[in-house]
Structure 1
Amino acid sequence: MAALIWIGAILCLAGLGGLVWCIFVAAGARREGLEGEAMEARLRGLVAWNLGALAVSAIGLMLVVTGVILG
């Protein structure tokens, strides 16, 4: 079960890294001074990445919890 915990931890960290990346991209768009439709277009593309990173992180956390419970 240790392998399950490690795989889950790696997935969780990868998901958190993706979330941090999304934050930096959104902050960069704000720093560029984008407004209106340009900002909306940039953030609309970012939403899918954000949800994907959140899903990967949640799956990783589920694997860690499952590994701890079964171990």
Structure 2
Amino acid sequence: MNLKDDSYVIYMGTQNFTEKHYKDNEGWLKISARGKEFRMTAEQVLNHLLPALAGIKPNLTIKVEHNKEDN
């Protein structure tokens, strides 16, 4: 089973929007609620996730999906 960071997709959002974060061959990619693509560093991904995980922004929801295929 592949447990590397490129085998996960992270969804973050509220009732009104959802952003998608995942890692491809070039690095981390954010797909905005409007479908725009933004390249991100791992630190930027963490800076988006940590406030929601810490409860500072309680209206944000986080969902993580694992791609079960070996990459």
Same fold flag (TM > 0.5): no
Q: Please tell me whether Structure 1 or Structure 2 has the larger radius of gyration of its CA atoms.
A: 1
Which structure ranks higher in relative contact order (CA pairs < 8 Å, sequence separation ≥ 6)?
Answer: 1
The structure that is strand-richer by fraction is 2
TM-score of the aligned structures, taking structure 2 as reference length:
0.30
